[in-house]
Amino acid sequence: MMLNCFEASRLLSEAQERPLILRERVTLGIHLSWCSGCRNFRRHMHALRTISRGYGQRRDTDDERVGKR
Ligand SMILES: [Zn+2]
């Protein structure tokens, strides 16, 4: 069974909320082994998660304000 990028990115998102079952982890792993786009997506998602955990909401508001100017 092959995943397309849409399914792979959906699984990557769901993996933040729940443990993936074995079949999902295997098919996702196969997809990531040849798809650099989804590997990048996964890296960005991990980075976003780390940032939001580390900086909190006040910093998010500040960043948004800076981005608009
Ligand atoms: Zn992909």
In the chain, the N- to C-terminal Cα span, in Å, equals 47
Q: How far is the CA of 64 from the centre of ligand 1 (A)?
A: 29
Most distant pair of Cα atoms in the chain: their distance: 47
Residue 39 C-alpha to ligand 1 middle, in angstroms? 8
| Distance in Å, CA 17 to ligand 1 centroid | 20
pLDDT given at position 10:
96
- The tens-digit pLDDT sequence of the chain (69 residues) is 689 999 999 999 999 899 999 999 999 999 999 999 999 999 998 888 787 777 655 555 555 555 555
Residue range of the domain that includes 35: 5-68
Q: What is the pLDDT of residue 54?
A: 75
Residue 51 tokens read as: 């940032």
| Distance in Å, CA 1 to ligand 1 centroid | 14
pLDDT at 2: 82
The three-class DSSP label of residue 34 is helix
Q: How many domains does the chain have?
A: 1
